[in-house]
Amino acid sequence: MEPDPGIESGAAELAQRAKTLGVSAQWRLTAAPFVVTGHVDGRGFYLRERHGHYHVTVAPDDDAAADPWELPAERPTVDIAEGEEDDLTDVDGSVDPARALTVAVDAVRAFLARRECAHDQPRDEKHLFCSLCGVRLAEADRWRP
């Protein structure tokens, strides 16, 4: 049986988007759940969508070879973002792998930036958010490893 042309097209779009974003990515599962995995700036990630809800998960450390989709239970992963399927869908209502990859890459890069940011600014009523990474200053310590 021939593969669904939409899957081939989606995989090609995913590969092009990955190249544009400077990341690696792979479309792991096309049905429920929808899964895209890859590496962003040295951090393994996956985006999993099922029943109208998705989450982005990263490997627990900077191990460049770590694939959180395949990590054993002894190495727990870290959920860094979540949302509704509408964030990932195309005009026809189906999940768009390239759009899903963009959502995942943005989440991973924001997570990494917030972990590395020093948040060097006053923490007072005038400065509620870090001017560099956008994290709420009252919660800045949660972003530390």
Asked if residue 46 belongs to a domain, the reply is yes
First-residue to last-residue Cα distance in the chain = 48
Asked if residue 81 belongs to a domain, the reply is yes
Asked if residue 132 belongs to a domain, the reply is no
- pTM for this entry: 0.82
Domains identified in the chain, total number: 1
pLDDT of residue 8: 65
Sheet containing 78-84: give its strands across. 24-29, 34-40, 43-50, 53-58, 78-84
pLDDT digits (tens, 9 = 90+) for 13-60: 899 999 999 999 988 766 678 889 999 998 999 999 999 899 999 988
Contacts of 71 (CB under 8 A, 6+ apart): 59, 60, 77
Asked if residue 85 belongs to a domain, the reply is yes
Asked if residue 131 belongs to a domain, the reply is no
- Residues 37 and 58 sit within 8 Å (Cβ to Cβ): no
Percent of the chain scoring above 90 in pLDDT:
35
Helix, strand, or coil here: 31? coil
Domain carrying residue 112? 5-118
